[in-house]
Amino acid sequence: MTVTDDRPASVLGTRLLRREDPALLTGEAKYANDLNVPGALHLAVLRSPYAHAKILSVDVSAAAELPGVVAAYSGTDLSGLWASPMPSAWAVTPDMKNPAHYPLASTKACYVGDGVACVLATSETIARDALELIDVQYEPLPAVVDLEDALSDRVVIHDELGTNSSYTWDLKIEGTEGQVAQAFADAAYTVSERFIQQRLIPMAMEPRAIVAVPQPFGGDMTLYSSTQIPHILKVMTALTLGIPEHQMRVVAPSVGGGFGSKLDVYAEELLCVALARKHKVPVRWNEERGENAVATTHGRGQIQYVELAADASGKLTAVRIRIVADMGGYQQLITAGIPILGAFLYAGVYDIPHAYDFSCTGVYTTLTPTDAYRGAGRPEATYAIERAMDVLADTMGIDPMDLRKRNFIAKEQFPYTAFTGLVYDSGDHLKAAELAAEMADYAGIRAKQATQNVPGATKLLGIGQASYFEMCGLAPSRVLASLNYSAGGWEAATVRVLPTNKVQVVTGTAPHGQGHETAWSMIVADRLGISPDDVDVLHSDTAIAPLGLDTYGSRSLPVGGVAIAMACDKVIDKAKKIAAHQLEANEDDLDFAGGSFTVKGSPDRTMPLAAIAFEAFTAHNLPDGLEPNLEAQVTYDPPNFSWPFGTHICTVEIDTETGNVEVLQYVAVDDCGNQVNPLIVEGQVHGGVVQGMAQALYEEAVYDTDGNLKNASLAEYLVPAASDVPSITLGHTITPSPTNPLGVKGIGEAGTIGAAPAVMNAVIDALSGLGVTDMPMPASPHNVWKAIQAAQGASK
Amino acid sequence: MIPAAFEYVRAGSAAEAISLIGQHGDEAKFLAGGHSLLPLMKLRLAAPSVLVDIGRVSDLSYIRDAGDHIAIGALTRHMDVENSAVLKEHAPLLAHAASHVGDPQVRHRGTIGGSIAHADSASDLPATTLALGATYVAQGPNGTREIAATDFYHGFLQSALAADEMLTEIRVPKMQGAGWSFQKFNRRAQDWAIVGVAAWRRNGDSGVALVNMGSTPILATSVASALAGGASVSDAAQLAAAEADPQNDLNASQEYRVHLAKVLVRRALEEASK
């Protein structure tokens, strides 16, 4: 007997092509700089050429006289426009020191790129030419580039703070005082490492672009910006400029990537709005690439001191972490909190006792402010623990894969209450690691390595692993409260069935390349039994989608997508009432499948959603007391983070004569629970892995001792292109999250989190026979060569 | 990313181009493929007041067998150099080196003459034509002259071309079956070489030139002399940087560049000796 299921197969889990792509690929998508706004004036910002300097005087008179220039302003000229300093939403400690930061500096410039004056002109060219006519007298002060130099307070950047140290945030487990010290005293093995997380420049393909458009009469203002956070930007702009919130509307048009760098409230956004109000005309600004490199936030920038204690079998018994985090010249929106987001992950995927001691100090330097960058704190944490695990394995003389297996949290232990009190929702680290090892032929490569890496060999094989846990889906609001974050972590969704059975979904997420329109339409199609083509997804305009907390921290699907599924369920509940009424049946006797309600046991008594939608619209025959129309709204506050995980294995071959690292193979096994669209999941992992690989092998913001960025162009800041990275082999395990109805976890940052440590472990593994035990990222040919030279010099 | 204002004139022939340059004086520049000049202008590192566009001087785009050498019109695009059957047969080193210039977009716009006239020591084709013993033909108001590649490169972005002269042809001796190698060491495929080596070897003769090992492309004459004197490849390669004067930059220290030159020259000669 054959059992057939004639229900339509769900679209969920299929490789539906992205509906966003035709407009993007044909160049028809409209970015902020493409918007045609008649009469707009162009803003240009004069930026400090000094990392640290007193501003003695600013003379804009010659610029103001240039034909086509409408106005030119110093920071002092505009000081009356700000109701408050630029927002910083994360005071991680009650005594955190945070200097007042305004859109233009008026007394002191604190990094190369800090805005000190601006011009409004009738064209962008005139505005930029006029900048050259502004005369600023500076008194240069010593730059503070090195983090430990910053900590020493040799030069204090913000006089009013009296120190460069902004805060020290500790994570200690109550009731376990002394346990960490005891564990280190009793340890059979200890590891103590110092790692550098170099500064990275996010380099979104689209630099920032802004248009502020005053609306006729009454003071309403529309701000178009290349941003990840239209909702947060709306509130923050209103507060900073003293505009009633209901008069601010923010629209994010097509946005060409963000990676966290557009999760911010920027000086230029505030300047455009303030000057558009002042001059009563639209004001626009478009960022140049070189400007983007200095005036848009950077990522990473940490020194990490990592200590592990282990017993004789290699079981971890304690973890102790000290971080110095580079905040740059000022705090931007969530600068201080970025390292804190990693604080919970320095024990990685390992089952450790309650012996954990974490402390992070945030310091100011005279460099571009740092803030969120893909992974935001978690890649740094994962790098530290995964590199340290390899060091521990090396110390013990065992295979690093074996050491990890001895320490993994076991599948049976989930949901797992960690030492921090956080609950890891689900996981199977051993399964992911074993699948990755099989796909990478881990044993085969180890065997090949034994014959290839012989003394005198100039091509050395290395294999490296990283097993990660990622804490994403930001976030349960109460947890955010405990971290002193100034907002919640919920997400809103509205599902509206139109009279013709087409569906509008309104989401508070703000896609900038992720494919939300496709993915959200699939969730709705699955829930309501309709085609994804019949679902329109409305987003990124606070007038259309007024409620939302936007897109970052791999939150959109596990929070925003779940909210949509729940709103669909509410729509179905309401539709069921109408169906029961019209079919003269009890609600409990109705089944909903394939877009129709059917009376159980009476397959001919059926009513499709299309008919119900029309009934709800006409309201001619609804149950007593039921409101017309078929629409539901849900605001979902997740009960937990989502915890994707996986194992990445990288194989490299190093040319010891040149220092060149060739990635021979990259295997990524990621588990993000149920997958809505595997095509999009794969795209996220590909991009994420390349971005992590870029940190390991290519990218670094290089400064001279005067605080000048030496590689502000794409010719010098080495973002790898498709031809520079290997084909990536993907595998997946699927361990649904038990904490949300879709069983999903985030995937936007996982690739980045796994990649940098996997690549660096492979590099060090290849070079271990030469006596190389660590080296700074990126493992550029020059750095590899120097590490080999140093190790060989040391061994002579 | 907005260049300073400039005038633009288009030349229909080499003679017209030279006449236009003569009219506008020192502040005028030829615009061929634009892949070296325009980035400099957008960064405002160059601000010519007049651009004389020679991009449509189609009679300077050719690759011809001229008996003992191959004649290449200065406006021949890199992609055409790369794919030329004539060059693949008689000067395969040059065709191969052209395939390493920039990325496909650059190779479809950029020209061999533009690259050589720009005289950037970090570019691939100046050193490659130098290794091959090329002769360049320049046309000026008073007619044409030949300039040996060895006499052409005077300093950083400085060449023997007078302000009113235009490079019109590159003459590359036939390689006559010589073994050859092009070693380009860089971090990303699209980048300039950190160090590059163009080399050929035939019987006792050889030619080795270095990319990005000084302010000009460098002819490694000590290497060729050592080989002619019977030195082994690895011994000769130790002399790779004898004529070089490399810079420190973000990708490499002077010391590392010298080391790379030795390794890459050795590898190039090994490959050319096969």
Q: What percent of chain A has pLDDT over 70?
A: 99
Q: Do A290 and B253 touch (CB under 8 A)?
A: no
Residue B123 inside a domain? The answer is yes
Pair (B154, B220) in one structural domain: no
Structural domain boundaries enclosing B49: 7-53
Cβ neighbors of A71 (< 8 A, separation 6 or more) are A64, A119, A120, A275, A279
Same domain, B83 and B20: no
Q: A139: Cβ–Cβ under 8 A, 6 or more apart, which residues?
A: A53, A54, A56
Helices (H), A52-134: 61-65, 124-131
A546 CB-near residues (< 8 Å, 6+ apart): none
Nearest to A429 by CA among A351, A333, A365: A351
pLDDT score for A176 = 79
Q: Would you call B185 and A658 a contact, using CB atoms and an 8 Å cutoff?
A: yes
B183 in a domain, yes or no? yes
A724:B189 CB<8 A: yes
What pLDDT does A2 receive? 47
- Pull the structure tokens for residue A299: 């990522």
- pLDDT (0 to 100) of residue A1: 42
Q: Which of B2, B250, B263 sits opposite A710 (nearest CB)?
A: B250
Instruction: Mark which of A593, A612, A636 sits at the end of a domain.
Output: A636
Residue A568 lies in a domain: yes
A172, part of any domain: no
**What is the interface pTM, i.e. ipTM, of the complex?**
0.95
Is residue B34 a part of any domain in this protein?
yes
Is residue A644 a contact partner of residue A472, using CB atoms and an 8 Å limit?
yes
**Do B67 and B38 belong to one domain?**
no
Is residue A549 within 8 A of residue A488, CB to CB? The reply is yes
Contacts of B251 in chain A (CB under 8 A): 780-782
Proportion of chain A in helix, strand, coil states, percent, rounded to 5? 35, 25, 40
Ramachandran class of A790: left when φ > 0, alpha when ψ lies in -120 to 50, beta otherwise: alpha
Q: Are A632 and A688 within one domain?
A: no
| B218 and B183 within one domain | yes
* Domain identity same for A137 and A267: yes
CB contact under 8 A, B185 and A723: no
Rounded distance, CA B232 to CA B201, Å? 13
Report pLDDT for A793: 86
Give the residues of chain B that fall short of pLDDT 70: 1
Q: Are residues A757 and A786 in the same domain?
A: yes
My answer on whether B164 and B254 are in the same domain is no
Are A223 and A317 found together in one domain?
no
Question: Are residues A644 and A632 part of one domain?
Answer: no
* Chain A hits for B188, Cβ within 8 Å: 698, 718, 720-721, 723-724
Which residues does chain A have within 8 Å of residue B1's beta carbon, measured at their own beta carbons?
Answer: 288-290
Q: How far is A441 from chain B (nearest CA, A)?
A: 28
- Same domain for A279 and A342, yes or no, is no
Q: Are residues B124 and B163 in the same domain?
A: yes
- Both A40 and A135 in one domain: the answer is yes
DSSP string, A393-412: HHHHTS-HHHHHHHHBPPGG
B1 within domain boundaries? no
Final residue of a structural domain among A620, A636, A652: A636
Beta strands in A423-458 (DSSP E): 423-424
Average pLDDT over residues A337-366: 96
Last residue of a domain, one of B153, B173, B193: B173
Q: Is A245 exposed, middle or buried (0-12, 13-18, 19+ CB in 10 A)?
A: exposed
Dihedral Cα B170, B173, B176, B182, nearest 10 deg: -60
A60-74, A257-271, A682-696, B46-60: the lowest-pLDDT one: B46-60
Is residue A725 scored above 70 in pLDDT?
A: yes
Residue B2 lies in a domain: no
B191 contacts on A by Cβ (under 8 Å): 715, 718
Domain limit, last residue, from A636, A671, A703: A636
Judge if B229 and B257 occupy the same domain: yes
Chain B residues touching residue A725 (CB < 8 angstroms): none
**B167, B126: one domain:** yes
Residues A645 and A660 occupy one common structural domain: yes
Q: Is residue A497 part of a domain?
A: yes
Separation in Å, CA of B184 to nearest CA in chain A:
12
* Neighboring chain B residues of A698 at a CB cutoff of 8 Å: 187-188
Tracing tokens 């035709």 back to the chain, one arrives at: A22
Q: Which of B1, B44, B123, B255 to mutate to test the interface with A (most CBs of A within 10 A)?
A: B1
- B97 in any annotated domain: yes
* CATH value at residue A582: 3.30.365.10
User: What would the pLDDT profile of A578-625 be if each residue is shown by its tens digit?
Assistant: 999 999 999 999 999 999 999 999 999 999 999 999 999 999 999 999
Select from A265, B37, A240 the least CA-distant residue to B29. Answer: B37
In-domain check, residue B73: yes
Q: Verify that A571 and A656 share a domain, yes or no.
A: no
Token couple for A307 = 């200590």
Q: How far apart are CA A700 and CA B35, in angstroms?
A: 26
Specify the CATH number for the domain of residue B220: 3.30.390.50
pLDDT of residue A796: 58
* pLDDT at residue B161, as a whole number: 96
Q: Which residues contact B184 (CB under 8 A, 6 or more apart)?
A: B97, B100, B124, B193, B196, B211
- Region A557-561 average pLDDT: 98
Give the pLDDT of residue B35: 86
∠A264-A270-A272 over CA atoms, to 5°?
A: 125
Do A277 and A362 fall within a single domain?
Answer: no
A397 and A377 part of one domain = yes
Within a domain: residue A182? no
Q: Assign residue A112 a region: left if phi > 0, alpha if psi is -120 to 50, beta otherwise?
A: beta
Q: Is the backbone peptide bond immediately before B173 cis, with ω within 30 degrees of 0?
A: no
Question: Is residue A12 included in any domain, yes or no?
Answer: no
Report the pLDDT value the prediction gives residue A173, as an integer from 0 to 100.
83
The answer to whether the beta carbons of residues A225 and A261 sit under 8 Å apart is: no
CA–CA distance, A150 with A164 (Å, rounded to integer):
6
B252 to chain A, closest Cα gap in Å: 6
pLDDT given for residue A7 in this prediction: 47
Separation in Å, CA of B253 to nearest CA in chain A: 8
Residues spanned by the domain of A228: 31-141+207-255+262-295
Number of domains in chain A: 3
* A90 domain residue, yes or no: yes
A726 contacts chain B (CB < 8 A): no
Q: Is B106 on the interface with A (CB under 8 A)?
A: no
| B233 and B207 belong to one structural domain | yes
The total of structural domains in chain B comes to 3
* Contact check, Cβ <8 Å, A715/B259: no
Give B39: exposed, middle or buried? Use CB within 10 Å, 0-12, 13-18, 19+. Answer: middle
- Asked if A201 contacts A298 with a C-beta cutoff of 8 angstroms, the reply is yes
Residues 122-151 of A with CB under 8 A from B: 124-125, 128
- Chain B residues close to A711, C-beta within 8 Å: 250
Residues B164, B208 within the same domain: no
A61 touches chain B (CB under 8 A): no
Residue A101 lies in a domain: yes
Say whether both A661 and A631 belong to one domain. no
Cβ neighbours of residue B91 under 8 Å, at least 6 residues apart? B70, B132, B172, B173, B174, B175
A179 inside domain: no
